[in-house]
Each structure stands twice: as structure tokens, then as C-alpha cells.
Amino acid sequence: MDDAELDVLLRNERYPRAAAYSGRWMVDGAMGPNPVWQAEALTELMPLEPGMRVLDLGCGTALSSVFLAKEFGIEVWAADLWVQPDENLRRVVEAGLEGRVYPVQAEAHALPFAEGFFDALVSIGAYHYFGTDDLYVGYFSRFAKPGGRIGIIQPGLAEEYETLPPPHLEPYWQWDFCAWHSPGWWRRHWEKTGLVAVEVADRLPDGWRDWLQWNEACDLDSGTPGREEAQMLHADAGRTLGLTRVIARRNS
């Protein structure tokens, strides 16, 4: 598929900022649902101001970090365990953001930063891999200044279910989907610590459609249309699956 065709498949009026970025750049760096779209959806409700220091935890190939730095004039520490910093630095330099995006290799439980260093913390498509631990938000939030915001967005459920998976999703279910949770679950999970005040906990409106559009474009580009994740999203049609968005403020 040529790049122009891919750009057409990835047109989405919901994400006007992301429309300025190459579809090829996004697809080639993909590690799950479109991180640039998710970053734009998160920042609709999470204000970022020029000059802020922001941690992007679980940044993957740093697409979200590049987007946030370019769009909001912030400095971003792009932290990931699996993608090497030199790979991400190459993408940062190509984007003209050397000195504003700092790639770091870090494990989520051993972050190499001073407490209170960041004005804001974000995690896009990754927090559920490490943040379901009852104690994690207490560790993570300490890297934000008092009053600083913490924002996450990732795959999630409409509600909590006594038994997983729902019958219509049995053919597609993977064991690690057990880390997907509802907005209400995340609100309780964070607020019970008393360390943060949750300002937003919602399902991104029609987030499942964005997720499906992205998967279908990636599948067509790879020459393997109709792969299992797209089939799952079609079968579910938003009943159970979507994108969960949570924004909180660190208490002083």
C-alpha cells in the first residue's frame, strides 16, 4: 500500500492534530492502538502548557512523546523498557526534537528520576501492564509535583464482569486481557489510596471505532486483512471493549 492510500484510511475527524502526521510514520512505529490518537484524546481533557516537564511512561517507539513535545511545546522524557533509547533518539532527531524529547530505558518499578521532578505524568496504551498493582500509583505519583496531573489511556472494559470473557468474546480472548478494566474500576483503584483526586474516568466516546479503524488500516497495509483483533472488535461493536481514559491530580 502506498503512503497516500494509508493516509486516506487513517483520516479521522476526531483527531485534527494527528492529521498533520504521516500515516506511514504512525503505522511503522505501532505497538497497539494508535498512540498518537490516544495522546490527542488524553490531552483534550488534560492541559499541558509550554515548558512543562512530562514523563511519558511506556512510550514504545516514542510516537506519543514526539507528538506531545511538538504540539504542546513541552519537554518529554520518553521512558520504555523494551525499545532501545538509541532507536527512539533516531526518531526524535528525525522529528527535529533533539533536546526536547529525552529517550530513557527504564522499568516501571525502577524509574531513574527525582521525586517531584515532573509537572505531569502520562502513560499511553501501557499503564495496565504495570499499574493494576494496588501500590503502584503511590510509587508513580511521587514523580509528579504536588498538584501535578497524571493521565492514562489504554484498552479497557465498559464494566467489570464476574466472569471473563463475556461469551461473545471467548473465541478471541487472551489471558493478559484480564488487565483491562472499566473507568469506575480505575477511579476506585486510585482514589482509595488518598494520594490522588480523580478528575476524569471515562470511556472515550466511540473509542472502539477508532481502535478498529486503526487495526483495519494496519492489517490492510500488511496485506493480512481481517486479523483476529479486528474480528474481535467487530464482534463486540463497543458493548464491552473500548478505550479507558483517566486523569487525576496529585494531592499535596
Average pLDDT of every residue of the chain: 97
Is 198 a residue whose pLDDT tops 90? yes
Residues near 222 by beta carbon (within 8 Å), at least 6 away in sequence: none
What pLDDT, in 10s, does the model give residues 64-89? 999 999 999 999 999 999 999 999 99
Give the contacts of 42 (CB within 8 A, at least 6 positions apart): 122, 124, 151, 152, 153, 245, 247
List, in sequence order, every residue forming a beta bridge with 59; answer none if it has no partner.
none
Q: Taking 90 as the threshold, does the pLDDT of residue 30 lie above it?
A: no
Q: Which domains does the chain have, with CATH numbers?
A: 3-250 (3.40.50.150)
| Helix, strand counts (H, E) of the chain | 9, 7
